[in-house]
Structure 1
């Protein structure tokens, strides 16, 4: 169902940036679409392109204004450009960031109608004949864009779009001699579109600012020289240089010995972060103090900013159940009311001898009221505003379905390391048993080289800090959920959790381990075969906002539990500080089973918050999975939402936002149905006419959109602390 139209009379189509990697016999193209005022515009483009020969898959994202299409390699993209141009929208290459057109220019039909009708009104004051002719000219000029688009939509299967109804109503009014009213109908509807476009721009402003974080060009270092190249041409392995005040165009690893980066736009961290050589820096981060050189690690179109934008686009496809219900309702509602309009026009004149003119006029009015524009827009407007609001405070929700589900959550299950804690443990003590401390640490560090696990990184860092020598490790095997094993200097070295070692093998060391664990430390055992070489204790720290986040969740009726693979004593120490229940020493499979048991107790309304690859099964099992922004790619892809700024305080805000969105959605549905019902009744009783019908349609659409924009206000999602 269409709710708005772009009335551009021309379209400039730029060359496509570049096709993505060919998949089978198709090639992927990306464009930026101009002229979309609401989600229905994106739907109209999708429907038109879906039936275009050669199109295998198409996605139009209103929030990011991007068109992604998989096209048969034998078909020219010019066919796509032609179809979009006929619909009245513009296309430009995704590598060009151009200033947005002024609102008055984007809605040229309204501008034209306003000017011509003002002149016609002036002529009417002096000469009614000339004035009437002026309104006739204005209506004729104004109805042409609607008629053209209505024909295109009918060819693409959309028979009951608002463009069709507006065309019929305006032409019908002209036939009845109501030239002034016909012109005002088009003017008022165009004004409604303009206001809707203004509201839509407000909703998309935050997402657009995100897309503009990465520069268009980069300084590539080649053969010792700096060459300026398009950012999209960079591939992994190439080296770049970024100057102070500039942002990274790609994800990259720092080659310089150190560097200071402002990552606030990406992570929310307000203080510049000092990074060392070989640390990964995300696209969009700004260099602060001195030029740095880096090695590109992200593929074209797959840096941190691109991934967030892609998630936002995918979110539009995951529609809330209530949105699907509204679409199903409007699909039969509009034809039903159109049939009613036909009966209103025919029955009274045929069976009671009434005049055809007044009943035809009422039928035309009903035609305009028939299209439930406000109802169709009510859900996408609220969801888009809510998703933009969430993104602004650091929470990325993947679509309306996940957003709607958030309000039903009654329990949050948390992973420990990297979620409730910083995930950056440090070695606190090394205990030598059958080897010296430094030798124990050196062997463990050699085995852990190349691992990305936080505990492994802590061991490696401590080995480096003590200036110990690393040896080459071979035959490395990850013991899922337990540790790692390999050959170092001809020795069969294992670094494992103590609970996976038989008590008789631990012997006297068991008491030492228990003592360390009772203090909240995580202990790993270094073995040579079955012989114990030594112990390494590590400590992680709670996130600064963890205690406050748990308290705020409790205040809004949300329970919390920690599910961790760590030992019971360490888990108990962390859980005690937070005041929550816990289950410890869980493998990935155990986490899933524990989560299923919790779901059974809470009627399924349980969300999982995690960051690691081992959390992915639980994230998928939960009613809703929430990943930490710096978590593993698998966790981020599996989850339904992500905390991009990694602030746990955003969890209660997300839930409050979901509840507020549900409230706004109910208000919008009530407003849309109420306005339509009111004007249906007043029209049948002869109390209102065409202009009132347009006001009900355009006014209702603007009203629900503005109501949805209230979700963008910060005070809408504040969480009160009792």
Structure 2
């Protein structure tokens, strides 16, 4: 898009849903037709999601006229929820008997069968035989001929133009039977292409249907069932056990386990209680929940996922851009080759005109780029749809391909390799006369009054051990800046703080054993705090950011997948960084980094390895995420920043999806390459049959149809890739 077009405001862009696309080529033609409409500055078709974005003014009638060659139906885009309803309604309409849905094809095949029956009874030159073959051609290929002839008059060369020229030529030289078969097989090929694309698109349509259309809401003391579009922010929604949650919100009353698989891909239910966030489309399994609505229907996490996935399907991957460019030049070249095959041998070698015109027509049929054009979009749509169902949001085909080519992955430490929540790891009482529970109660009572970031870990431990610290009376509490805290409990002054604080309290006994103990804890990546009085040290408590159980296993799996380098980046000190990095098994550790340092290091990695991913929380790591080839954000569910800034978002706060994403991307990359290679190779082999004069219209159409089917099936395999 040009700079001028890029400046077009949101108000000038309208998005429409399109029904009736049969192929990627037709989508491209529709896009060009819309661009030519008066009042339209630009248009972009999203073939994967069956949508078109129009910049400027155009009526639905004008858009449908631009798509008349394919009988396209255009409707304004509605919210994801409306779309879901629309899709459901469409599905109901489409449930028509097989013989009605494919009546044209069946009639055409019937005429063909009777034509061959007449051929065997009356012979090839019989008028009835010719008329039956002609009827089969016209019934089965009328829509094809209309478009093909229009294209021919405008010098637009696509697959329908090639087929039309081949059919007309075949009819002129009297190959009625074969031409009728070519028309039928081409129609079947188009139907299969449409079916396989719809199958891939359904992976997203199923997401649209996850959230309920209605919800039970309490208003003015009454409980009423209303449509989600009428629900306002602040409403209280009541969700009973076994029901799906219709809107995003915060629990204000109740306790339950909620299955969030639809959003995060994790099938293990998550406990939800007051102040916990819940998402539309998730399943309330156990208790009754009262939820305060926090987002309108179009702003819910599931709506954003659907919107972003549909946008992602429309993003052209590098391989697709190559195919589009290749197909643009490929079709006219095939026309020229076909003309040369038909004309050169008879003119220069005195060969039979009928034989070589037939060969030229077969070249035209072979030249249909159906398989080549569908090879990439079907793979991308299948892979992105599969990833979305498993809780991984890939923002476009380009990132899917780049994920498959990764050589190095950098990880932020806090909240990525670790849980980001501090926990008490060690608590040692050094005075035999002191009761452990009493001492923990005093520590917690003091920490409760502090603003220290590690206080939450100590309070959590006290709650787990049912210690009633709130009953401990603390007097003269004060904070000792940068060193710790102090307060009087039962007439005794207690101190909690760093080793530095207790070294300054001259009356304490700070011996070598204690020093070694503290150093050992710090080398394990823990923050050691001492509790004591002015006279003696009573105990040591150590707090650390807990490493995720899965981190070590994930790093190992990534190395097994052939990722050459895994790097942990952190602002923590070297002792903590080395302890955690060694435990999880990363190949390199970088500590004491500022955000700017992380950014510089990512740039260096890109220079060394080419394709580099950065995994972070999408907020603090935004510069490094942006500088990497692929920015991967943790915990996209409910985090707008992660959804917006990252190229790939792991919707659950779970790294276990990362090896699956790398594996899926590599498989997608391999399948795309295989599809393109196969589609071009099969054409080349079929064209070689021209040299000995073995190429027939039968072989030509079967090679094209066979390639299309195999490429489509190969692309659909990406929907079945599973997590290990």
**Shorter-chain TM band:** 0.7 to 0.9
1:405-420 matches, cutoff 5 A: 405-420=402-417
Alpha-carbon distance in 2 for matches of 1:226, 1:54: 49
2:409 match: secondary structure: strand
Counterpart position of 2:166: 169
Which residue of the other structure, out of 67, 81, 86, is the alignment partner of 2:51? 67
Structure 2 counterpart of 1:43: 28
Higher mean displacement: 551-560 or 643-652: 643-652
Alignment size in residue pairs: 649
Tell whether the 8 Å contact from 1:430 to 1:437 is kept in structure 2 after alignment.
no
Matched, 1:114 2:109: yes
Rounded Cα–Cα distance in structure 1 between residues aligned with 2:459 and 2:222? 35
| 1:651 partnered with 2:645 | no
Judge which range, 277-286 or 326-335, deviates more. Answer: 326-335
DSSP 3-state at the match of 2:686: helix
- The equivalent residue for 1:77 is 60
Structure 1 residues 177-216: aligned runs within 5 Å:
177-216=174-213
Q: 1:708 aligned to 704, 715, 722, which one?
A: 715
How far apart are 1:192 and its partner, in Å?
1.8
* TM-score with structure 2 setting the length: 0.78
Write out aligned runs for 1:264-279 (5 A).
Answer: 264-279=261-276
The alpha carbon displacement at 1:335 in A equals: 1.0
**Per-residue deviation at 1:545?**
1.8
* Structure 2: unaligned runs, 5 residues or longer: 1-7, 429-438, 472-477, 486-496, 531-539
Distance 1:461 1:503, change over 3 A: closer
The 3 A distance-change label for structure 1 pair 90 and 638 is same
- Alpha-carbon shift at residue 56 of structure 1 (Å): 5.0
Return closer, same or farther for 1:604/1:362 CA change in 2, 3 Å cut-off.
Answer: closer
Q: Is the 8 A contact 1:55 1:69 kept in 2?
A: no
Match of 1:566 in 2: 572
2-side partners of 1:27 and 1:322: how far apart? Answer: 27
Deviation digits for residues 190-226 of structure 1 (CA, Å, limit 9, x no counterpart)? 1222333343344334333222212233334332334
Are residues 513 and 254 of structure 1, via their aligned partners in 2, closer, same or farther at CA, if it must alter by over 3 Å? farther
> Match for residue 617 of structure 1?
623
Query: How far apart in 1 are the matches of 2:219 and 2:671?
Result: 55
Give the Å deviation of 1:153: 6.3
Partner of 2:360 in structure 1? 363
Whether the aligned pair in 2 keeps the contact of 1:523 and 1:538 (CA below 8 Å) is: yes
Using the TM superposition, name which of 201-210 and 97-106 deviates more.
97-106
Distance 2:273 2:460 in 1: 12
Listed one character per residue, the Cα deviations across residues 425-478 of structure 1 (whole Å, up to 9, x for unaligned) are 34779999xx98646534528xx9xxxxxx798799899998979xxxxxxxxx
Q: CA RMSD in A?
A: 4.1
Residue 546 of structure 1: aligned partner: 551
C-alpha deviations, 1:125-159, integer Å up to 9, x for none?
Answer: 5555333312211211222211333467679x881
Distance in 2 of aligned mates of 1:671 and 1:71: 37
1:587 aligns with 2:605: no
TM-score (norm: length of structure 1): 0.78
- Please give the residue correspondences for 1:282-301 in structure 2 after superposition, counting only pairs within 5 Å: 282-301=279-298
Contact 1:109-1:190 within 8 A present in 2 as well: no
Give the equivalent residue in structure 1 for 2:139.
141
Secondary structure at 1:444 match in 2: coil
The verdict on how the C-alpha distance between 1:55 and 1:247 changes in structure 2, with shifts beyond 3 A counting, is farther
Matches within 5 A, 1:438-517: 438=445, 441-442=448-449, 444=451, 508=504, 517=522
Displacement after TM superposition at 1:641 (Å): 1.7
Could you tell me which runs of 5 or more consecutive residues in structure 1 were left unpaired when the two chains were aligned. 1-21, 449-454, 470-490, 526-534
Q: Counterpart in 2 of 1:98?
A: 89
- 8 Å CA contact 1:203–1:388 kept in 2: the answer is yes
Q: C-alpha separation between the residues in 2 aligned to 1:523 and 1:111?
A: 80
Structure-1 separation of matches of 2:392 and 2:455: 29
C-alpha deviations, 1:78-101, integer Å up to 9, x for none? Answer: 433454465223456624223533
Partner in structure 2 of residue 660 of structure 1? 667
Q: Does 1:608 align with 2:587?
A: no
* Matches of 1:679 and 1:258, distance apart in 2: 66
Question: In the aligned structure 1, how far is the partner of 2:444 from the partner of 2:119?
Answer: 99
Shift in alpha-carbon separation, 1:307–1:334, aligned structure 2, 3 A:
same
Structure (1 or 2) with the larger CA radius of gyration:
2
